[in-house]
Structure 1
């Protein structure tokens, strides 16, 4: 390539027509055809790389199909295409698969959308081992749900990661946020995705989970394989471990450990987020109005309703986790079921909700209307409503009980 000829012709520009090609060839001591080629296509002076066909080219589509849709390994694909006529080496196939996956990672990494109320992301911190003051080992998990715009987070300590537990955690999260995001992004977890029918390009959602999402009012967004974790979520999960470790041998019960996690939840929602450089709770004020309204809780409760039965005593109370809770007197002798959501318990007879109590450290929990019924049916059956009210005010409120209106 005559770079001197090419550069001079570029400098001459439009003035080259004042000189004929023979004169230019004489000046540059080159063939006239060289001048002609450079004048017609100045870029032709740059040598173009030769496009050599690789042995793998005819098999690339097959390899991508088997890797993406069926999770085939490099070696299994290599053995397969050998039978189809591939004569190249294994390393060529393996390098192609690696490059393809790297490319797909970039495509599949989902941006954490920051539009208010649009998206939340869900994940678990799995199998955290904690030791109590008495040397008892607790293996726990922490459910994490974070809103995309405000980065407000909801954490829940759990002993398992079943689908029923996921339903309960999501429901608690909706109550915590006071609404439901339009989309929720999930990893490829078995409680959400039917892994047996899922491929790289086609994700099959578990049918029961799909029904739950419809009832709750959000769209399921799943992450494709090869997707790296988003930076914000990884940082939060790392904090979970870092901040819990000092509490080893500092708690007695699961409830105390749960309180530690709840305190941590409050702390991180009041700290400046690295992602937004704002405090999540303050930023959430802008986001809350964009969330979908809360659905009927009874509908969501049916997805994780615990079927253990609790008999109503003659006192018109049921015993749950060492504490007693009142119900209407007509259910004495009946068997009820209980669902616990966040800081409240819901008591059911068949499928009817008959009472709801806030959980406290008190042993006895009464609803005021239940107390009136109990007193009227037995000890104070001859008293007027006014005298019963007076009795409640003067006696029950001074006792070590939790009394709700």
Structure 2
């Protein structure tokens, strides 16, 4: 719509005797537009357009309620797309995303991943959902090559629970990777560089478990949690695409998500959704890549039967270095230490 001042300018130029073509050139409009507003009296206006109903319109009340239930969390468009398709929606995801952005704008952070060889590494992390009298956490393990993930909901993060979750994950993957990457949790590591640079003091129970199954323990550098970015990214996906939709749905019915229900639902979600989706980085289906990775995994062995009660997470007052450790270590240029730290 042109402004009222432009309409007046057109009429003034016409009164000055200028041609329609000359007026159109001066005001930057088409000749037919100039002719139209010369014939029109009063302020310019457009006819009101008819409102066209979209395929998404019947589902907007449901979407508004789901977004309201999940606050302060956001539900991904892919999750809500599955829900409304079950109700009969036949449109695409683009108009759904546009509508959801008008309700709750979503900011995505792009992260570049370091790729690993098949069977080389598994990244593990805890994700805490609920504290208090009814705590709820999830053990999450992701294979670095295929991006296949395993999730187990638990009520505690004790060492015995951690070891059992590992064995369940190995069964789910169909083999054991060469290395497992963790953050600096006490159930894995007690002291960094305790016996020299890069020679950490691991939790004895966890170390014995790793030796039993034949994989190497590796920990991230302090304050560098994104080193295990593959599992960190999956944690976000798990929270927003699985936990928040399920917990909010139960909450609307006056129920609280428990461990048994969460584990039953998450296995179904992993099989039908998480490990069947086309991964954003690899552009392949994780379960299909697992078929290629499985041949490079170590075969499953006997279950671990070690006594983890001896592995107490207590910091000793003094840690003595082994006899072979030099009392006056040789000094090297700083780049040497940087390379060692990067490899730790």
TM-score (norm 1): 0.43
Which structure has the higher relative contact order (CA within 8 Å, separation 6+)?
Answer: 2
Which structure has the larger Rg over C-alpha atoms? 1
TM-score (norm 2): 0.50
* Greater strand proportion: 1
